[in-house]
Amino acid sequence: MVLDRTTRFAAFTMLRASLQAVGWAFLLYASFPSLATAQTPPPPAPPPPITVPPVVTLSDGAVTVEGMTTKASAVVFGVARRSLQFGERLETRFDVLDDTDGNGAIRFEVNEGLPWKSVWTVVDLPSGLFSLAVPEGFPLMEIDFPGQGIGSALNTLESAGDFEQLLWVRPGLGAWALTAGDGGVNDGDQEGNHRILADVTRFAPIGKSPAPPDKFAPGDVLVGVEAHTLNIFAARLAH
């Protein structure tokens, strides 16, 4: 079929318009690659962990923590003997609290006020750095890490005592708690020998922490408070 001159000119005009349209589309594609490849931007990098322990202040019936890793969590462990009209009452607190304001600080009130006879531990969860604190005038009775230390299988901790509150933290993962009485169900040897054998399988998760690991590991933080005396040991296992 032979096209006349007018038809050929019209066809050429349409072809040129089509090529121009393709060219503009290519330029638009090249200029705005995000229009061509829609990708979710990567999440912001987490803030770097702190390099010095957090600062803990006990006052006005509250516990204040400053200098923790921003937008992260801290593990709070408190053991107290509250004086009553007749005798004393043991109080224990295990919490994982978040820095919701992003200023590296948390604060919480203590029900019925802050007991004078109390000892507090705060562990920055990302870094594993920790601080101990007691109310003004109350002695911090810190003792050495248990002589028996960690069992050869790395799954038990033996310490002297009759009734202990224990905290185990693995930085970046979670925290776990254990209440154990000498000879009780959470004492690994279940013998009345003034020693407590804390087994990893007996620890319970705190907050949203996962189930406890199957053994202790370098970098873990272990804290123990003897409930009757409020003697405390705290250590980070050597790498």
207: in domain: yes
For residues 160 and 123, the model is more confident at 123
* One domain for residues 217 and 152: yes
Higher pLDDT pick, 231 / 190: 231
pLDDT at residue number 199: 93
The predicted-structure confidence for 196-230, as pLDDT tens digits, reads as follows 999 999 999 999 999 999 999 999 999 999 999 99
The whole-number pLDDT of residue 60 equals 79
Query: Between these two residues, 85 and 95, which has the higher pLDDT value?
Result: 95
CA separation for the pair 71, 63 (Å, rounded):
18
Helix and strand totals (H; E) in the chain = 2, 14
- For residue 4, the model assigns a pLDDT of 55
Shared domain check, 164 and 100: yes
* pLDDT of the residue at 238: 84
Determine the length of the chain: 239
Q: How many domains does the chain have?
A: 2
Kindly state whether residue 43 falls inside one of the protein's structural domains: no
Q: Of all helices (H) and strands (E), which one includes residue 225?
A: strand 221-226
Query: What is the pLDDT at residue 225?
Result: 97
DSSP symbol at 114: -
User: Is there a single domain that holds both residue 70 and residue 11?
Assistant: no
Please tell me the distance from the alpha carbon of residue 95 to that of residue 237, in angstroms, as a whole number.
22
- Is there a single domain that holds both residue 88 and residue 184? yes
Q: Residues 215, 199: contact at Cβ < 8 Å?
A: no
Select, from the ranges 32-41, 56-65, 107-116, 118-127, the one with the highest average predicted confidence (pLDDT). Answer: 118-127
Asked if 109 and 11 sit in the same domain, the reply is no
Encoded tokens for 39: 């990708």
Tokens of 165: 């509150």
- 92 and 179 in contact (C-beta within 8 Å)? yes
Q: Are residues 19 and 133 in the same domain?
A: no
Whether 42 is covered by a domain: the verdict is no
Q: Has residue 38 been placed in a domain?
A: no
- Same structural domain for residues 19 and 118? no
**Given this model, what pLDDT does residue 5 score?**
53
If you average pLDDT over residues 143-171, what whole number do you get? 89
| Strand ranges across the sheet with 105-109 | 55-59, 62-66, 105-109
Sign of CA dihedral 16, 21, 25, 31: positive
On whether residue 68 sits in a domain, the answer given is: yes
Query: Stretch 48-72: mean pLDDT, rounded?
Result: 94
What is the rounded distance in angstroms from the CA atom of residue 17 to the CA atom of residue 5? 18
Q: Are residues 93 and 157 in the same domain?
A: yes
Q: Is the same domain home to 79 and 141?
A: yes
State which residues form the domain around 25: 5-33
pLDDT of residue 37: 54
Contact 119, 232 (CB under 8 A): yes
Of the pLDDT bands very low, low, confident and very high (cuts 50, 70, 90), residue 122 is very high
Same domain for 24 and 114: no
Q: Would 93 be classed as within a structural domain?
A: yes
At residue 3 the predicted structure's pLDDT band, cuts being 50, 70 and 90, is very low
Q: How far apart are CA 149 and CA 225, in angstroms?
A: 15
CA-angle at 94, arms to 93 and 97, nearest 5°? 115
DSSP bridge partners of 119 = 79
Answer yes or no: is 101 within a domain.
yes
Instruction: Report pLDDT for 65.
Output: 97
Q: Are residues 60 and 174 in the same domain?
A: yes
pLDDT tens-digit profile of 7-48? 544 444 554 545 454 444 444 444 444 444 557 888 878 788
What b-and-e string marks burial along 177-215, b requiring 16 or more CB atoms within 10 Å of the CB?
A: bbbbebeeebbbeeeeeebbbbbbebbeebeebeebbee
- 48 within domain boundaries: no
pLDDT for the residue numbered 20: 53
The reported pTM is 0.81
* Mean pLDDT value across residues 230-239: 91
Tokens 């050597």 — which residue? 238
Question: Looking at the structure, do residues 122 and 187 belong to the same domain, yes or no?
Answer: yes
